[in-house]
């Protein structure tokens, strides 16, 4: 079972990487402005290099892209969460936690980029786009759902190295450790102290397992 320990995730990153117009970092000002119309999403991500990964000298997750699904048409409605590594070289092999504010809805993973190196001179990328991860109106890799007014924890994203090639993987904090983890979140974001946090993992049968 692939999971992460809560003590690796107590350092919350106050600014989400590469924030676009479709979402904002969680701040008291932004939260109060959003009211109950939007959602707070808590997630972790590990941008660090994994050495000896799936037959490569090293591999590194470079980006993840999620897009909101229009329930009526089963297509994307333009709302996108694009996460990118803050640095190719200067990132540690640890999970850091982030909290962002997004519009409510169901979001599908529609893209990723993984850099994989056999040597310093032999470097390539495993890239998946929406045509690979969203077919016939269905999300291939998985989705997460967040409703208006909720604060939702969706899991931790990193690399899996036990397959034939490196792939993204959704890890998670054990439910037994979740209260401790959320205590750290509320200590960092004191204005969220009275809010309930919903444990609702990114749902997938391809790049993650159930608790």
Secondary structure in 3-state letters for 100-165: EEECCEEEEEEEEEEEEECCCCCEEEEEECHHHHEECCEECCCEEEECCCCEEEEEEEEEECCCCC
Mean pLDDT of 13-25: 53
Q: Is 23 a residue whose pLDDT tops 80?
A: no
* Least trusted range by pLDDT, from 14-18, 52-56, 151-155, 190-194: 14-18
- 22-29 long-range contacts, Cβ below 8 Å, gap at least 24? 22/79, 22/80, 22/81, 22/102, 22/103, 23/81, 23/100, 23/101, 23/102, 23/103, 24/100, 24/101, 25/98, 25/99, 25/100, 25/101, 26/99, 26/100, 26/101, 26/189, 26/192, 28/189, 28/191
Average pLDDT, the chain: 87
Q: Look at residue 89 in the predicted model and tell me its pLDDT.
A: 81
Query: Using CA atoms, how far apart are residues 103 and 36, in angstroms rounded to an integer?
Result: 10
- Output DSSP code: residue 50: E
Query: Which is nearest to 88 in space by CA: 112, 53, 121, 114?
Result: 114
Q: Do the Cβ atoms of 185 and 10 come closer than 8 Å?
A: no
When pLDDT is cut at 50, 70 and 90, the band that residue 22 belongs to is low
Q: What percent of the chain has pLDDT over 90?
A: 72
* Least trusted range by pLDDT, from 64-73, 101-110, 187-196: 64-73
Kind plus residue range of the DSSP H or E element containing 64: strand 56-70
* Least trusted range by pLDDT, from 134-138, 139-143, 155-159, 187-191: 134-138
Q: Enter the pTM of the model.
A: 0.89
Q: Look at residue 104 in the predicted model and tell me its pLDDT.
A: 95
pLDDT in tens, 133-151: 998 888 999 999 999 999 9
When pLDDT is cut at 50, 70 and 90, the band that residue 101 belongs to is very high
Q: Do the Cβ atoms of 117 and 56 come closer than 8 Å?
A: yes
Q: Look at residue 55 in the predicted model and tell me its pLDDT.
A: 93
């Amino acid at each position: 079972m692939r999971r992460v320990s809560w003590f690796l995730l107590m350092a919350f990153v106050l600014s989400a990487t590469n924030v676009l117009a479709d979402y904002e970092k969680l701040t008291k000002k932004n939260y109060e402005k959003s009211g109950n119309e939007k959602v707070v999403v808590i997630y972790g991500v590990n941008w660090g290099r994994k050495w000896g990964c799936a037959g490569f000298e090293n591999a590194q997750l470079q980006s993840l892209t999620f897009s909101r699904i229009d329930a009526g048409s089963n297509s994307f409605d333009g709302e996108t969460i694009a996460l990118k590594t803050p640095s190719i070289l200067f990132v540690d092999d640890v999970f850091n936690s982030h909290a962002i504010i997004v519009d409510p809805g169901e979001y599908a993973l529609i893209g990723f980029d993984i850099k994989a190196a056999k040597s310093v001179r032999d470097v390539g990328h495993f890239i998946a786009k929406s045509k690979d991860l969203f077919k016939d109106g269905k999300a291939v890799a998985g989705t997460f759902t967040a409703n208006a007014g909720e604060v939702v924890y969706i899991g931790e994203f990193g690399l899996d190295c036990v397959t034939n090639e490196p792939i993204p993987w959704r890890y998670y904090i054990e439910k037994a450790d979740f209260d401790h983890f959320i205590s750290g979140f509320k200590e960092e974001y004191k204005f969220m102290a009275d809010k309930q946090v919903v444990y609702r993992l990114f749902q997938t049968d391809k790049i993650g397992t159930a608790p």
